[in-house]
A and B are shown apart, each in its own frame.
Chain A
Amino acid sequence: MDFLISVVNSPSLLGVVLSTVLLSVSTGMIGILAVLGKRSMAADVVSHSMLPGVCLGFLFSSSSDIGVLMSGALVSGAISLAAMHVVLRKGTHKPEVAQAVVLSTFFGFGVVLLSPVLRHHSGEQSGVTHLLFGNLAALTIDDVSFLLPWSIAIISIIALFRNRLKAYLFDPDFYFATGAKSWPMESFISGLLISAIGIGIKSAGVVFVSSLLVLPCIAAMQWTYSIRIIMALTILFSCLSALLGVMLSFAYPSLSSGATVVLVNSLIVVISVIFRRK
């Protein structure tokens, strides 16, 4: 109750709460596509692969302007997904090997670039590390004005295309039999995934953004087979974990809010796994 009162009284806290909830819901929705498309760990690969792009953006522009860094991140995330595609097509590896190779190559290259970034004379390199390790508490009421239309757009796009998505994810043979091609759907899903990770990485950090994507959907899948209910439960769990997570880190300021949101999410998964009805 105290929390609610202070949220209403303090606009900055309201901003953090609202934007965390919106971020969590929109990434959670896109996470459904990731999990059902067997791309759970791909999210982790893409988020790690954004490091070289962020560093290059910083080195070329010599500024920690968020737009430059973010476009670097999105470009290198997209290249990493493309590289994973090439490896899977040309190589004879299992998917996990392709993921591991791409993740480590990109991240290794990023670490190479990180040294000149940290030595950079402009003294603005803190923007780079902030972007990578994220801080939910840095979200403000301004972010809401972007995150609100973004989340609504994501939810309605996924709801709108749910039949196509269902066909593509669950019965690709049928999907191709209707004469549809794979690349529009593949690039549609990849685009959503990359943009969700790009937006998430700034506030949640490299490691935690993939769990914002994956965990709510995994928990929802324990309760039902119906995609509609999975979507509804994912939204519910995302909201719940964001709210409780921010509340926890509000009550104990030494706890980082990214980690508390992830742990509440994990707790929901554990409870769902134990009490699943399926």
Chain B
Amino acid sequence: MDLDIFYLIATALLSALSCSLIGSFAVVKGNAMVVDVLSHTILPGIVLSFILTGQRHDGALFLGAMTASLLTIAIIDVLEKYTTVPKDSVNAVVFPTLFALGILLAGAYAQNTDLDVECILFGDLVFLPFEKLSITESFSVPKALPSTLGVFGLCVLFVLAFYKKIVLSLFDADFASAKKLRPGLWTRGVLVLTAATCVSAFETVGAVLVIGMAVIPSATAALFVRTLSGIIWLALAFAASAVFVGYFLALFFDTSVSGMIISVLGVLYFASLLLCRTPR
């Protein structure tokens, strides 16, 4: 049982770290709601993979969700570039449409499967230890741990390897293209990683709470420091401490772990906002 608690905290920690690492870019760039959109629009992908494979197959699930989020990114791109839909309304158009499509598909074709829409939205860490992946006969880890670790590694590698290119593309696209850097490629790379983080985190923290993990730590950090690297390091620290505090508070009050982690982060944010003098 002790090992289970260790795995639970490890998975939560890895999700929180990769979310806040990638979320920092969204916060500093100002397109934070795209995380909300992506975490809702994976639903039709998940439902479709259910319908096509006829069962709960983790690989297909991941593939379906990933396809749906890439499609979302493409649709947002097209709407922003080629139409007159106001920029701040594009998100509000895309996510209910795809979400409604997911609900309809689930209602029409997947009624008899064990797909639970509410479970996708509210997914909880507590259920983690029940689904295990055996590595050897005596040793098994929760299914979600390897995928979360993989996505975390991917995020860290991507950011470390291309940090300068990403920063330049995000904040000075003209200069980046003058340097032949293809800014569109790198900004979309960040979006794709954001999507991957959402997909890996929806089962553990729940789709709607992913946005909290991605946005609140870096928004809090942005109240204290002004440099991107400072924001990232501080956000990682906030996220990690919120996971521990949130876990034990949730245990104490016997309630949802991921909800409690987000609540701790929220309290931290509003306390910082009201008590601190923000650098401008």
**A residues near B, CB below 8 A?**
35, 38, 40-41, 43-44, 48, 83, 86-87, 90-97, 99-101, 103-116, 129, 133, 207-208, 210-211, 214-215, 218, 221-222, 252, 254-256, 258-260, 262-263, 266, 269, 273, 276, 278
Q: Quick check: A114 and B256 within 8 Å, CB to CB?
A: yes
Asked whether any CB of chain A lies closer than 8 Å to the CB of B136, the reply is no
Question: Do A105 and B263 touch across chains, with their CB atoms under 8 A apart?
Answer: yes
A100 with B32, Cβ < 8 A, contacts A214-B93, A218-B89 known: yes
Beta-carbon contact of B122 and A114 below 8 Å? yes
User: Apart from A100-B214, A221-B85, A252-B108, what are 19 other A-B pairs with CB-CB below 8 Å?
Assistant: A40-B92, A41-B89, A87-B273, A92-B278, A93-B30, A100-B35, A104-B208, A104-B215, A105-B270, A107-B262, A111-B209, A208-B100, A210-B96, A215-B96, A218-B89, A222-B83, A254-B111, A260-B100, A263-B101
Interface segment among B3-11, B59-67, B181-189, B216-224: the answer is B216-224
In the complex formed, the residue of B with least CB distance to A273 is B83
Interface residues in B, total, Cβ within 8 A: 61
CB atoms of A255 and B107 under 8 A apart: yes
A91 to B276, CA, bound (A): 10
14 A-B pairs (CB sep. < 8 Å): A38-B88, A91-B273, A92-B278, A93-B27, A100-B211, A101-B266, A104-B216, A114-B259, A207-B99, A215-B96, A218-B92, A254-B107, A262-B97, A266-B96
Give the complex CA separation of A260 and B88 in angstroms: 24
A-chain residues with CB within 8 Å of residue B96 when the two chains form the complex: 207-208, 210-211, 215, 262, 266
What secondary structure prevails in chain A residues at the interface with B?
A: helix
Q: In whole Å, how far is A35's beta carbon from the nearest beta carbon of chain B?
A: 6
A116 / chain B contacts, CB cutoff of 8 Å: 255
Whether A40 and B89, one on each chain, are in contact in the complex, defined by CB atoms closer than 8 angstroms, is yes
Q: How far is the CA of A150 from the CA of B231 in the complex (A)?
A: 47
Whether A99 pairs with B100 at a CB distance below 8 angstroms is: no
Closest 7 CB pairs of A and B: A108-B262, A104-B212, A105-B266, A111-B259, A94-B30, A211-B96, A100-B32
Residue B204 lies at the interface, judged by CB distance under 8 Å to chain A: no
Given known contacts A35-B86, A254-B111, is B215 in contact with A101 (CB within 8 Å)? yes
B239: Cβ under 8 A from any A Cβ: no
In the complex, residue of chain A having the shortest beta-carbon distance to the beta carbon of B82: A273
Distance in Å from the Cβ of A229 to the closest Cβ of chain B? 15
Q: Interface code B29-40, partner A: CB below 8 Å = 1, 0 otherwise?
A: 011110110001
The reply on B68 being an interface residue by CB < 8 A is no
- Check B86–A40 contact: CB distance below 8 A: yes
Assess whether B222 is in contact with A92, with CB atoms less than 8 Å apart.
Answer: yes
**Cα-based distance from A121 to B204 in the complex (angstroms):** 28
Tell whether, in the assembled complex, residue B100 and residue A211 are in contact, meaning their CB atoms are under 8 Å apart.
yes
Interface residues of B in 251-267 (CB under 8 A from A): 253-256, 258-263, 265-266
Question: Which of B's residues lie within 8 Å of A, judged by CB?
Answer: 27, 30-33, 35-36, 40, 79, 83-86, 88-89, 91-93, 95-97, 99-101, 103-104, 107-108, 111, 118, 122, 206, 208-209, 211-212, 214-216, 219, 222-223, 250, 253-256, 258-263, 265-266, 269-270, 273-274, 278, 280
B259 touching A105 by the CB < 8 A rule?
no
Cβ contact within 8 Å between A40 and B259 = no
Contact yes or no, B273 A96, CB < 8 A? no
Task: Report the Cα distance A211→B96, complex, angstroms.
Answer: 6
CB distance from A275 to the nearest CB of B (A): 12
Q: Which of A41, A87, A211, A266 contacts B88 (CB 8 A)?
A: A41
- Docked Cα-Cα span, A41 to B12, in Å, equals 28
- Closest CB in chain A relative to B223 CB, distance in Å: 6
Hey, which chain B residues are within 8 Å of A48, CB to CB? 208
Q: What B residues does A94 contact at CB under 8 A?
A: 30, 32
Which residues of chain B have C-beta atoms less than 8 A from A208's C-beta? 96, 99-100
Residues of A within 8 A of B86 (CB): 35, 38, 40, 218, 221
Which of A93, A107, A215 lies in contact with B93, CB distance below 8 A? A215
